[in-house]
Amino acid sequence: MSKKVSVLFVCLGNICRSPTAHGVFRQLVKEAGLEEVIEIDSAGTAAFHVGKAPDTRSIQLAKQRGIEMADLRARQVDLGDFYQYDYVLAMDEANFFNLKELALPEHYDKIQLFLDYSSDYAEKEVPDPYYGGAQGFDHVFDLVESASQGLLQHIQKKHL
Ligand code: 4NP
């Protein structure tokens, strides 16, 4: 295989949900020995937090669950992302529709809801935990972990 399979996780601020997905999926890819084959990044549809590290609540929770993500920095989605990435995975429907508005029709197929890859949860959206309590971050992590496993299985079956 010549070209890497590339995945971009997208939420609103790129400081809670999408960096959690980035960190969790990166670890799964590493454990599968596929770091040279799968490229991963995350971004936000909004620019509020560009350049910042993930929310400390996300970093702490991830650390408790064995995932390092403190090295990540927020950036905003740009048009080049739709050319560069094979999978542009939205955390919720608002982000999904915002991505569709930004993209050209030829790129619509790349834009999907991340939780479509979870076989454990019927929920369609990873809820925004930013203004809530610790429980919200736990739930985000559970959803992200499940969908990350499903996504890796899908990529292995389809591309590798
Ligand atoms: P995220 O969470 O989209 O999961 O990174 C949010 C972070 C910040 C804000 C909203 C959601 N905010 O309004 O600043």
Phi, psi of 89 (to 5 degrees): -110, 115
The residues, any chain, with a CB within 8 Å of residue 40's CB and separated by 6 or more, are 6, 7, 8, 9, 22, 25, 26, 29
Q: Radius of gyration over alpha carbons of the chain, in Å?
A: 14
> How far is the C-alpha of 155 from the C-alpha of 10, rounded, in Å?
18
Q: Of 16, 17, 26, 41, which one is the catalytic site residue?
A: 17
Strands (E) located in the chain: 5-11, 38-44, 87-90, 111-113
- Tens digits of residue pLDDT in 92-108: 999 999 999 999 999 99
Ligand 1 atom 7, closest CA: 13
Question: What pLDDT score was predicted for residue 42?
Answer: 99
Residue ranges of domains in the chain? 5-159
Q: β-strand 87-90 against 111-113: which pairing, if any?
A: parallel
- Tens digits of residue pLDDT in 138-154: 999 999 999 999 999 99
17 given a catalytic annotation: yes
What is the CATH number assigned to the segment(s) 5-159?
A: 3.40.50.2300
On the question of pLDDT at 131 being above 70, the answer is yes
Q: Is the CB of 47 under 6 A from ligand 1?
A: no
Closest to 92 in 3D by CA, of 133, 37, 147, 54? 147
Which pair of structure tokens corresponds to residue 101?
Answer: 């508005």
- Tens digits of residue pLDDT in 36-62: 999 999 999 999 999 999 999 999 999
